[in-house]
Amino acid sequence: MNRDYEGLHRYRLMQGPLPSLFCCIGDPVVGNPTQLMMEAAFSQISFPGRYITCTVEKNNLQKAVFGLRALSFSGANVTAPHKTAVITYIDELTHSARLIGAVNCITIEEDRLIGDNTDGKGFISSIGDVRGYRVLVFGAGGAARAIITELALHGAQSIHIVNRDSKKCEEIVSQLSSHVETKLTYEALSPQFLIKRGYHLIVQATSVGLFDPTGALDVIWEKGAHTEAIAADVVFNPVHTTFLQRAQHAGYRTVDGLGMLVNQGAYAIKRWTKITPDVQVMQDALTQAFTIG
Ligand code: NDP
């Protein structure tokens, strides 16, 4: 069958079977470009899937998730503020989703909802091999939790967690430490926090800087990072955050949040379709979304 993406859908609509349905649920979701990169990936792999973006308020979460099953959806992405609450309505969790305590990707197989978390995996793909790494992570929210868990599962030597609310760090360390060999430590974020040399990877996993080009954590960079040291930011809008600009100035190689966003989406596509999409096609769709606005 040699049809373009729209042709494939016309054919499916008239001849069946109907296309597979997917969506992103969250609130707010206006401004979230996931749909564009997912449909670009479906098109590239000629997969007859449709992906839409749905605003789901907190008090409608249960109905929305049960509705996925009723409407024969094949999967969904879950974004803020539902990543933790959605677990109540899921039939089965992957190992990492259980450890992270949050779900951002649902696959519906034989009427069963399987919850996974691809955020941390997407982050690791954007960095590469982290075995033996000494890591400093700012943040202890959902994104940080996913990243810390996958860093530990991928063999990081140590992870030091720094967050405004240190109770959240304590929770992560107490829940994760019996499952991994990585040394986990934490402290509260203090003003003018000094980022010492010696880490292989520094991760900015707070929401500071999101939609705020001048916003940045109140940190001081000790100069002279070794040449391979990486500073990564989860924030993807703006792409070149103030945090990354300052890290670059201090001698770090920088990794922006788009890589994590694209790769977590690619993991979801692979789960749903069993086909590995071209991440460059997805990245291009995102870049276009941010350029056109
Ligand atoms: P959460 O609300 O779960 O966590 C927010 C985190 O940011 C907490 O650690 C919070 O600290 C910290 N924080 C917020 N404001 C401040 C501040 N003024 N000073 C210091 N720390 C602050 O959000 P998520 O973890 O879900 O998301 C965090 C970021 O990650 C967002 O920008 C989101 O867009 C991005 N993200 C990117 C992805 C990607 O693919 N690139 C995927 C998922 C998320 P405290 O606990 O003390 O309040």
Can you spell out the DSSP letters for 202-234? EEE-SSTTTT-TT----EEEPS---TT-EEEE-
Q: Is the beta carbon of 162 within 6 A of some atom in ligand 1?
A: no
Amino acid symbol at 155:
G
pLDDT, one tens digit for every residue, the chain (293 residues)? 557 888 988 999 999 999 999 999 999 999 889 999 999 999 999 999 999 999 999 999 999 999 999 999 999 999 989 999 999 999 999 999 999 999 999 999 999 999 999 999 999 999 999 999 999 999 999 899 999 999 999 999 999 999 999 999 999 999 999 999 999 999 999 999 999 999 999 999 999 999 899 999 999 999 877 778 999 999 988 899 999 999 999 999 999 999 999 999 999 999 999 999 999 999 999 989 887 65
**Which pLDDT belongs to residue 132?**
98
Handedness of CA 111, 116, 121, 123 (dihedral sign): positive
Among residues 58, 63, 83, 121, the one annotated as catalytic is: 83
Ligand 1 centroid to residue 209 C-alpha, Å: 10
Q: Is the beta carbon of 218 within 6 A of some atom in ligand 1?
A: no
Structure tokens at 56: 């789901």
Amino acid symbol at 124:
I
The Cα–Cα gap between 264 and 126 comes to: 10
Q: Whose CA is nearest to atom 11 of ligand 1?
A: 164
Residue 218 CB contacts under 8 Å (≥ 6 apart), including other chains: 191, 192, 193
Q: Is the beta carbon of 115 within 6 A of some atom in ligand 1?
A: no
Q: Whose CA is nearest to atom 7 of ligand 1?
A: 206
Ligand 1 centroid to residue 50 C-alpha, Å: 29
Question: What are the b/e assignments for 251-281, b being 16+ CB within 10 Å?
Answer: bbebbbbbbbbbbbbbbbbebbbeeebebeb
Q: Whose CA is nearest to atom 12 of ligand 1?
A: 206
Residue 144 vs residues 2, 174, 238: alpha-carbon distances, Å: 43, 15, 19
Please count the residues of the chain: 293
Residue 196 CB contacts under 8 Å (≥ 6 apart), including other chains: 222
**Which pLDDT belongs to residue 292?**
64
Taking the whole predicted model, whether its pTM rises above 0.85 is answered as yes
Distance of CA 86 to the CA centre of its chain: 16
Q: Is the beta carbon of 164 within 6 A of some atom in ligand 1?
A: yes
Residue 209 CB contacts under 8 Å (≥ 6 apart), including other chains: 215, 216, 217, 233, 235, 238, 241, 242, 243
The Cα–Cα gap between 153 and 220 comes to: 29
**Which pLDDT belongs to residue 2?**
57
**Which pLDDT belongs to residue 118?**
97
Amino acid symbol at 177:
S
Residue 191 backbone phi and psi in degrees, to 5: -60, 145
* Residue 83 annotated in active site: yes
Ligand 1 centroid to residue 213 C-alpha, Å: 15
Residue 224 CB contacts under 8 Å (≥ 6 apart), including other chains: 197, 251
Q: Is the beta carbon of 80 within 6 A of some atom in ligand 1?
A: yes
Choose the residue to mutate in 166, 206, 237 for probing ligand 1, maximizing ligand atoms within 8 Å of C-beta.
Answer: 206
The Cα–Cα gap between 227 and 56 comes to: 45
Q: Is the beta carbon of 236 within 6 A of some atom in ligand 1?
A: yes
Ligand 1 centroid to residue 61 C-alpha, Å: 21
Is it true that the peptide bond before 48 is cis, omega within 30 degrees of 0? no
Q: Whose CA is nearest to atom 13 of ligand 1?
A: 206
Ligand 1 centroid to residue 198 C-alpha, Å: 25
Task: Single out the residue of 291, 272, 239, 248 nearest to residue 126, CA to CA.
Answer: 239
Could you give the count of Cα atoms lying within 13 Å of 202 in the half-sphere of its Cβ?
Answer: 28
Using only C-alpha atoms, what is the Rg of the chain? 20
Q: Is the beta carbon of 81 within 6 A of some atom in ligand 1?
A: no
